Amino acid sequence: MKRTLAYLSLLFILGVLLYVANPDYGLKFGPGGKEWLSLRYTDDYYIQHGVQEVGGTNIVTDIVFDYRGYDTLGEATVLFTAIAGAVALLRPWRRDER
Amino acid sequence: MNCRGDDMGVIVRTAARATIPLIGIFGAYIVAHGHLTPGGGFQGGATIAGAGILFLLAFGLEEMKKRYNKSLYSVLEGIGGLTFLGAAMLGIGVAFFYNTLWHNGPFFNGKPGTLLSAGFLPIMNLAVGLKVFIGLVSALTWIALYRRWRE
Amino acid sequence: MIQFQFITAFLLIALGIYAFLAKNNLLKLILALNIIDSGIHLLLISLGYRVELNEIPTAPIYTGYETLKSPMVGPLPQALVLTSIVIGVCVLALAIALTINAYRHYGTLDVRALRRLRG
């Protein structure tokens, strides 16, 4: 009974998400022209001014390391902490060393 | 079946010996040209880590334990992180993450599209690539080493 | 136009949630987490696409060969997904380490057996 209810709720979630994907109501795939400029002016700014302000011709690298540098700093911290935690969990335990 | 060696046989070892330098060179190209072509620090570091994991799979744990130096790898990961932070600190007079090398620096300020351009972006690419490579290879080596310390 | 990208992304997310509900092995739960991650990445990348009149957009990289008016896809979702992929790898490594330790402690990976507390 509980399991059937869970699967029914899963089907409900999938139906709602597919309804959202309908272009008439929800998410749009690939608007162009004026609509793109009004919805995504941040992307347009990066494309127009990225080479002049940062210098790299790869706009994604410009965003990752310069415009959104704090994100990359926190992400490097997460990488360091996760690897340190994994290595600390997999070290020999004190009980095993004798 | 030979219990001593845990490598994957002579065919895989020969193929790995031929392909590991190529994978490493391609990863180094991705890291070094991260500000010009598709790619960057994370992707190139993951590619070089793929070469390291191929070495671990093909040649076995015994060979990897001889090459893997724990203190050296810890120091290299620290150097990568501190280089990233230091490159971000260069323009601290204006703001954190200010690209002062590109606007008025002595070097790395060439024409856009050349290798020595884009301020601190190549330095950060190298630092992050080193960090990702060390992290992934260390994690996979320690997972493979689990409960085999005594041998 | 049928939007296959969004449908694939939502199918991946629903598949991951189904695996979370139905499976009992701990390693399969980690795989389900990664499948949900892939679906979200596909969804975010698809949102950055752009259709001009009869031009196919290129990657946001200036190579010196494009014409003046050639459109580019949005670079911001790609940068954020790049960050998210690395976070996913970190979570995977930590989860694998915890799973190995749980197997060593309990001798099984079944989540119904793992619920009991044991010194």
**Domain check: are A37 and A50 in the same one?**
yes
Contact between C90 and A78 using a beta-carbon 8 Å cutoff = yes
> Residues A21, A47: one domain?
no
Would C119 be classed as within a structural domain? no
SS3 content of chain B, % helix, strand, coil (to 5): 65, 0, 30
**Residue ranges in chain A modelled with pLDDT below 50:** none
CA C61 to chain centre: 24
Q: Which domain holds residue C57?
A: 4-114
The 10s digit of each residue's pLDDT in B26-73 is 999 999 888 888 888 888 999 999 999 999 888 888 788 888 888 888
- Give yes or no: residues A17 and A38 share one domain: no
Range of the domain at A23: 1-30
* Residues A61, A23 share a domain: no
CATH code: domain of residue C106: 1.10.287
ipTM over 0.90: no
- Do A74 and A59 lie in a common domain? yes
A25 and A40 assigned to the same domain: no
Chains that touch A (3 or more CB pairs under 8 A): B, C
Q: Is C72 on the interface with A (CB under 8 A)?
A: yes
d(CA B138, CA A86): 9
Same domain, A50 and A84: yes
Give per-residue pLDDT as tens, C2-57: 678 888 888 898 888 888 888 888 899 999 999 999 999 998 888 888 777 777 77
Chains that touch B (3 or more CB pairs under 8 A): A, C
Domain assignment of residue A59, yes or no: yes
Counting the structural domains of chain C, the total is: 1
| CA nearest neighbour of A75 among B131, C96, C93 | B131
Range of weakest confidence among B4-13, B75-84, C7-16, C30-39: B4-13
Percent of chain C with pLDDT over 70: 89
C-chain CB neighbours of B113 within 8 Å are 62, 64
Instruction: Say if C87 falls within a structural domain.
Output: yes
Structure pTM?
Answer: 0.83
Q: Per the structure block, which two tokens stand in for C36?
A: 């949900």
In chain A, residues with a C-beta closer than 8 Å to the C-beta of C91 are 82
For chain A, what is the domain count? Answer: 2
**Contact of B137 with B52, CB cutoff 8 Å:** yes
Q: Which residues of C touch B146 (CB under 8 A)?
A: 100
B3 pLDDT exceeds 50?
no
Of the candidates C98, C102, C101, the residue with the CA atom closest to the CA atom of residue C114:
C102
Using a CB–CB cut-off of 8 Å, the residues of B that contact A are 34-40, 77, 81, 84-85, 88, 96-97, 99, 102, 109, 112-113, 117-121, 124-125, 128, 131-132, 135, 138-139, 142-143, 145-147, 149
Higher pLDDT, A44 or B79: B79
Residues A23 and A52 in one domain: no
- For residue C104, the chain A residue with the least C-alpha distance is A90
